Amino acid sequence: MSGAATLLRDVFGFDAFRPGQEEIIHTVATGCNTLAIMPTGGGKSLCFQIPALMREGVTVVISPLIALMRDQVRALRAAGVEAGALTSGNTEEETTEVWQALEAGRLRLLYIAPERLAAGSSLGMLRRIGVGLIAVDEAHCVSQWGHDFRPDYLRIGELRRALNVPLAAFTATADAETRDEIVEKLFDGQPPQTFLQGFDRPNIHMAFAAKDNPRAQIMAFAAARKGQSGIVYCGTRAKTETLARALLDAGHSACAYHGGMEAEARRIVEGRFSSEDGLIVVATVAFGMGVDKPDIRWVAHADLPKSIEGYYQEIGRAGRDGAPAETLTLFGPDDIRLRRTQIDEGLAPPERRMADHGRLNALLGLAEALECRRATLLRYFGEQATPCGNCDLCDTPPETFDGTEAVRKALSAILRTGESFGSGHLIDILTGTATDKVRQRGHEALPTFGVGRDMDKRGWQGVFRQMMGHDLIRPDRERHGALVMTETARPILRGEEGVTLRRDTIDHTPRPAVRAL
Ligand code: ADP
Ligand code: ZN
C-alpha cells in the first residue's frame, strides 16, 4: 500500500480515493508545482493535507474563508494532526499557541489568511519555520477580472519565490482565462502540472445487477469476455479462492489474490497479471493499489463494494488505455446488511459512522438508480452530467412502477409484527403463505396477511431490497437483522410522499463482448 493510501485510511478514515485525488496527491507530494481544477465538494482538501504529511517541513495553506480554515484545523486536530490557523478571528491565546507549536517544530499545517501576507513580519516568520509546501485554496481569487478578487492573493507569487518551495493551487473555476491568470500570477508564467480533465471515464461501461445466482452471473459475464484481462472483486478471502477455482474449471486463466496470502505468492500474481494476456484475478480490495495495467478490459464485483468511492476506484482500474471496458456490480440484501453491520460494529466515532452510512446510501442510490448511472455518480462527485449512453440504464431504461402501495404494505407488515422479523417471514405474511412459523406466531390472523398476493416472492424481494437501498428500512443488529423502519419512511407511511420503484428484470443473457464506442 502506498504511503498516501495508508494516510487516507489511518488518518482520515476513508477506504478509497475520490477520482483524481490519488494522481494529484502523488504530484504534489513529489514536489511539482500543481494546479488542480476540481468541482466543489470533490475533495480537494485531502489533495494538500495528505502531501503535507508526506513532505518535510510545514505546509502553509492560504485560504480566503476564515470559517472554512477553522473547520479544517478542528477536523485535522481531531484526526491527530498538528494544525493551526493565523487569522483575524483568532483569540490572542490561540495565536500564541500557534506560535509556540511553530517554534517547537510541531506544526504540520499552518493555515493563514491572505491579509497576513501583507504584514512585513510574516515572510520572516515563514522563512524561519521551514516551509515545505504552499497550498492555495480558491486560487481564482488571484484573478482581477473575477468576482472573488482578493488583492492580497497577488502576494502569493512573491512568497513562493522568496521561500523557493513548490506550490499547489486549487480552484473549482475552470475557464481558460482564469487558469492563465493563475499560472501568470502564482507561477510566474511557468506552467505547473495541471489537472483539469473531468473525473468521468467515458469508456467504462457501468452496470449493476441484483444478485440472483451470483456465481452464475459472474461466470456468464466472464464467459462473454473470455481471453480478456479482468478483475473480480469479492467480499471475502474464501470467496476469491472458490470463484477462482470455478473460473479455472470453466477453462479461464484465473487466480486468487487476497491479503492473507504470503507476500511472495501475491507478488507472483501481480507479476503474472501485468505480463500475461487474459488473466482473471479474483481478489479482495487488497488487489489494485499498485496495479498499473492499462488494458484491463473488465471489472466485476461479486459483492457490493464498501462505498461509492471504493466502487469508482475499483471499476476505474479498467480501461486505462481509453479503449472500451465493461463492469458489472452485483448486490443483494445480504450485502447491504453486511456493510451496515461493518459500519455499526467498527471502531469509528459516531459522526464518522453516520458519514459512512451516508456514503453507503449514496452507493445504494446508485445501485437502485432509475436513470443514467454515470450522471448519478458524477453528480455525487460534484460534476454536471447528462445521460451518457454507456451504462445499463441508458442501454435499457428500467421499467418502473408506483411502489407507494407496496412499500406501505411492507411497512405495515413490519410494524404489525413488532419490527422483529427478516424479509423472508414478512414476505410469507404479505403473500399469504401460511408456513409453520406464520401459524405458530398467529400471523395469518393479521390484517396484512395476504394483502400482497398480487406480487410473487421475487417481486417482494426486490421491493425489500430497494427499501433498504432507499434507507426506508434497516436491519437491527441487536435482533439478528430484524427489519426496522427508519425516519425516512415515515412520510410514505403517512401518505405524504410516494416512491417509484423499478421492476427487477434479472437478465442472464451476457452482453456482447465487443462494443463500439
Ligand atoms: P472541496 O473540494 O469542496 O474542498 P472537501 O475537501 O471539503 O471538498 O471534501 C468534500 C467532502 O468529501 C468532505 O466531507 C470530505 O470528508 C469528503 N471526502 C473527500 N475525499 C474523500 C474520500 N476519498 N472518501 C470519502 N470521502 C471523502
Ligand atoms: Zn448512462
pLDDT, tens only, 104-123: 899 999 999 998 888 777 88
State the distance from the centre of ligand 1 to the C-alpha of 41, rounded, in angstroms.
Answer: 6
State the distance from the centre of ligand 2 to the C-alpha of 11, rounded, in angstroms.
Answer: 35
Query: Cβ distance 214 to 253 under 8 Å?
Result: no
- As a whole number of angstroms, the distance between CA 306 and CA 283 comes to 15
Tell me what pLDDT residue 359 has. Answer: 83
Rg (CA), the chain: 26
Q: Tell whether the model's pLDDT for residue 4 goes beyond 80.
A: yes
Q: Tell whether the model's pLDDT for residue 444 goes beyond 80.
A: yes
- The more confident residue out of 19 and 228 is 228
Average pLDDT over residues 354-373: 88
Range from 298-307, 317-326, 342-351 carrying the lowest mean pLDDT:
342-351
Query: Which residue type is seen at 250?
Result: A
Q: Which ligand is nearest to the CA of 44?
A: 1
Tell me what pLDDT residue 513 has. Answer: 44
Q: Tell whether the model's pLDDT for residue 357 goes beyond 90.
A: no
CB atoms inside a 10 Å sphere around CB 28: 28
C-alpha pair distances (Å), 17 with each of 133, 209, 308, 505: 22, 24, 10, 32
Q: Which ligand is nearest to the CA of 371?
A: 2
Nearest in space to 281 (alpha carbons), one of 253, 317, 309, 239? 253
Q: Specify the residue with its C-alpha closest to ligand 1, atom 15.
A: 43
For residue 477, name the pLDDT band (cuts at 50, 70, 90): low
Tell me what pLDDT residue 405 has. Answer: 96
Cell of 235: 467480499
Average pLDDT, the chain: 90
Query: Which residue type is seen at 437?
Result: K
For residue 517, name the pLDDT band (cuts at 50, 70, 90): very low
State the distance from the centre of ligand 1 to the C-alpha of 222, rounded, in angstroms.
Answer: 34
Nearest in space to 410 (alpha carbons), one of 334, 337, 467, 333? 467
Q: Is 148 helix (H, G, I), strand (E, B) or coil?
A: coil
Tell me what pLDDT residue 2 has. Answer: 57
Strand partners, 300: 232, 328
Average pLDDT over residues 202-224: 96
In 159-252 the beta strands, taken as DSSP E runs, fall at 167-171, 193-195, 204-205, 208-210, 230-233
ipTM: 0.97
Mutate to test the pocket of ligand 1, among 7, 8, 17, 18 (most ligand atoms within 8 A of CB): 18
Q: Is 206 helix (H, G, I), strand (E, B) or coil?
A: strand
Query: Cβ distance 366 to 308 under 8 Å?
Result: yes
Q: Ligand 1 pocket by C-beta < 6 Å: which residues?
A: 14, 16-18, 21, 38, 40-46, 309
Average pLDDT over residues 368-384: 88
Of 103-117, 224-238, 364-378, give the range with the top mean pLDDT. 224-238
The sign of the torsion formed by the CA atoms of 15, 483, 238, 256 equals: negative
Q: Specify the residue with its C-alpha closest to ligand 1, atom 13.
A: 43
Q: Specify the residue with its C-alpha closest to ligand 1, atom 9.
A: 43
Average pLDDT over residues 501-510: 62
Q: Tell whether the model's pLDDT for residue 478 goes beyond 80.
A: no
